[in-house]
Homo-oligomer: A and B are copies of this chain.
C-alpha cells in the first residue's frame, strides 16, 4: 500500500430519458418519440425536448433500447482474420454500406478456428445482432438451427454453392481455381504442386484444392502423385511450404498457392533459393490483393471483387432483416489476372 493512483470516479451522473423528460416537461414517451420518430411529435415540443437533450448531454442507453425494442440495428460478422487484406477490404465496404442505411457493424474474428467461430456467433446473437454475415459454408449444423430458432437472418459470403439453399453471395472457389489450373496445364505443365490452407475446417481452401485436382484429372495427370502441403495463411508459411514442395521428386514446374499471401511467401522463397520465376518455376495465387501486382515479378492470380461483395452483402442482409425474406443467392464472377509469375515449363 503505497500512494493511491488518482481515482477515475465521475464528477456527475449519466442522464437518462426520464431526466430529459423532466427537464422538458413532457413524458418519457414523448422524448422517446422525438428520438425515434420525430415526425410524430409537434415541432414546438420537439425543439424543447432536443434542447433538453443537448443541455444534459443525453445519449440513449443502447442496452435498454435493445431490450425494450427487440432489435438493435446491428449486423454482426465473423471473419477468419482481420490480417488478410481481402477480408479487411470486403468488410470495410460492407460496413460503409451498412452505415449508409443506419446499421452498425460488429466484427469478430475467429482465427480460422471452428470452435471460436461458433462462440463468436453465439456472442453476436446474444448481443442482439439483427442479422449475421458468415464466411463460407463449413459449420456445425446445429448452429444454423440455433440461428433459425432466434430468427436471425444469416448470409454467407466469400463462397457460393449452387446446391445449398442457404442465402449466399460469393463465387465458386472450385471453378475459379479449375479455370486457372486448366490455363496453366495448357501451357504444358505436367509436374504440379499445391500449397493450401488447412482444408479441415475451411471449405474455400478445400474447394480451391479440388479445383486444381479437377483440372489435373481432366488433363490426365495422376492426382494421387500431386504434392499438396497444407499450412497456415502466412507469408512465412508460404516460404517453408515452398521449400518443402520443391524438394519433391519430380520437382514441380508450377506451384499453385491457396491464396496470394502464400504465393508471396513462395515467391520470396524462390528468390532465396536462387530460382528464377517463371523460368525455373511458375507460381500462382488467389485473391488479387494489392501486393499481387506490386510483387516482382507480378503475381498471376485470380481476381475476386471483394469490395463489391461486401457492398452487396450489406444490401442483401438489410433486405433479409427488414423484409424478413430469403433472397436469391448471388454468384459473382472472378477472373484470372495473368501476370509474370506464370510461364511455360522449361523444356
Using a CB–CB distance below 8 Å, which chain A residues touch chain B?
5-12, 14, 57, 59-64, 66-67, 72, 81-83, 85, 88-89, 91-92, 95, 104-109, 122-123, 125-128, 146, 148-151, 153, 235, 264, 268, 290-291, 294-296, 320, 323-327
Q: A107-B107, A294-B268, A326-B6 are in contact. Are A88 and B92 (CB under 8 A)?
A: no
Q: A88-B82, A264-B294 are in contact. Are A109 and B95 (CB under 8 A)?
A: yes
Identify the closest chain B residue to A291 (Cβ): B291
A57 touches B10 (CB 8 A): no
A320 touches B8 (CB 8 A): yes
Contacts of A7 in B (CB 8 A): 324-325
Identify the closest chain B residue to A95 (Cβ): B109
Q: A92-B81, A291-B294 are in contact. Are A126 and B8 (CB under 8 A)?
A: no
A330 shortest CB reach to chain B, Å: 15
Q: A62-B126, A92-B109, A268-B294 are in contact. Are A151 and B82 (CB under 8 A)?
A: no
Q: A88-B83, A128-B63, A290-B235 are in contact. Are A57 and B149 (CB under 8 A)?
A: yes
Q: A88-B83, A296-B296 are in contact. Are A151 and B59 (CB under 8 A)?
A: no
Given contacts A6-B326, A10-B150, 13 further A-B contacts (CB under 8 A): A5-B326, A8-B153, A10-B151, A12-B149, A62-B63, A62-B127, A81-B92, A83-B85, A83-B92, A95-B109, A106-B106, A235-B290, A235-B294
A126 touches B61 (CB 8 A): yes
A317 shortest CB reach to chain B, Å: 12
Query: What separation, in Å, do the CA atoms of A92 and B82 have in the docked complex?
Result: 7
Q: List 21 A-B contacts (CB under 8 A).
A: A5-B323, A6-B325, A8-B148, A8-B151, A9-B151, A9-B324, A10-B148, A11-B148, A11-B149, A61-B126, A62-B126, A62-B127, A63-B127, A64-B67, A81-B92, A82-B91, A82-B92, A92-B109, A235-B290, A294-B295, A296-B296
Contacts of A325 in B (CB 8 A): 5-8
Contacts of A327 in B (CB 8 A): 5
A134 shortest CB reach to chain B, Å: 16
Query: What separation, in Å, do the CA atoms of A123 and B20 have in the docked complex?
Result: 19
Identify the closest chain B residue to A126 (Cβ): B62
A264 shortest CB reach to chain B, Å: 7
Contacts of A324 in B (CB 8 A): 7-9
